[in-house]
Amino acid sequence: MDMHLDVKRVAASTTAALLVVLGAGSGIAAADDVPTDSSVVIHTEPPQETDPADTGLVDVPADQVGVEPDIPGSGDTGSGNHPGSEYCDRQTVYTPTYKGGDHHKGIGAQQANTNNTSHTAKSTFTAEVSGTVGVTFSGTLSTSVDVMIAKIETKYDVSLSASLTARLGNSISVDTPPHKITHATYGVYRLRNQGKSYVIYSNCQTSAKSTVTSYTPHYVGWYIWEKNA
């Protein structure tokens, strides 16, 4: 199948409005904020997997996304031990506070094609491996990862996944101008989000509020950038 691409060359961006095209024969595994046209952004810099300012990030194993963290109680001794005092149902809380942009986590080696001619050339890239990308976060999360994802989806009206797979064989074709090098990497775009997480104890006191920075799979696609040859 031939696919015509309307190529747009812009400076690097990590916003949710990235225009990404999947190659013929493979659809988007999960899509939100993904345009349905055939445009592809050509960036000027390689992708950033995470924001450089974010530290202490840890990957969440696939079998742990639904598990509530084991957080020691404080004042959780039951209503019978709170005579004459206020009693609350113990709750774990996560509240999204900031929706960031998409960051691309590549699967497999980066690819490149050099055009040393004086004419525009067609560059075609094909994913050589497949791989699955999950959630990464920093901070103390008081809820399960599944609950965090649901809260982000509800507040910002987005569709996210605990994991997405970039599959072997997906292809994309773009124009490489004269004396340019086109680079490409296939993988998963993850939405960066920040929120506050804490526990409300049975004595109605709360734990310290932790800022949680998370990267959650958003959609599968290519990231393309261009340099001088």
The 10s digit of each residue's pLDDT in 168-206 is 999 999 999 999 999 999 999 999 999 999 999 988 999
Q: Which residue type sits at 24? A: A
Structure-token pair, residue 169: 């064989």
For 146, the token pair is: 């599944």
Alpha-carbon span 150 to 101, nearest angstrom: 18
**What's the whole-model pTM score?**
0.82
Domain assignment present for 212: yes
Distance CA 78, CA 107 (A): 49
Q: How many folded domains does the chain comprise?
A: 1
Q: How far apart are CA 109 and CA 53, in angstroms?
A: 25
User: Rounded to whole angstroms, how far apart are CA atoms 139 and 123?
Assistant: 42
Query: What residue numbers bound the domain in which 79 lies?
Result: 6-228
Residue 208 lies in a domain: yes
pLDDT band at 107 (very low <50, low <70, confident <90, very high): very high
| 206 occurs within a structural domain | yes
Residue 97 predicted with pLDDT over 80:
yes
Q: Where are the alpha helices (DSSP H) in the chain?
A: 145-156
- Assess if residue 171 is contained within a domain: yes
Give the separation between CA 12 and CA 48, rounded to whole angstroms. 10
How far apart are alpha carbons 117 and 97 in whole angstroms? 50
**Residue 91 falls inside a structural domain:** yes
Query: Does residue 1 form part of some domain?
Result: no
Asked whether residue 184 is domain-assigned, the answer is yes
pLDDT band at 156, cuts 50/70/90? very high
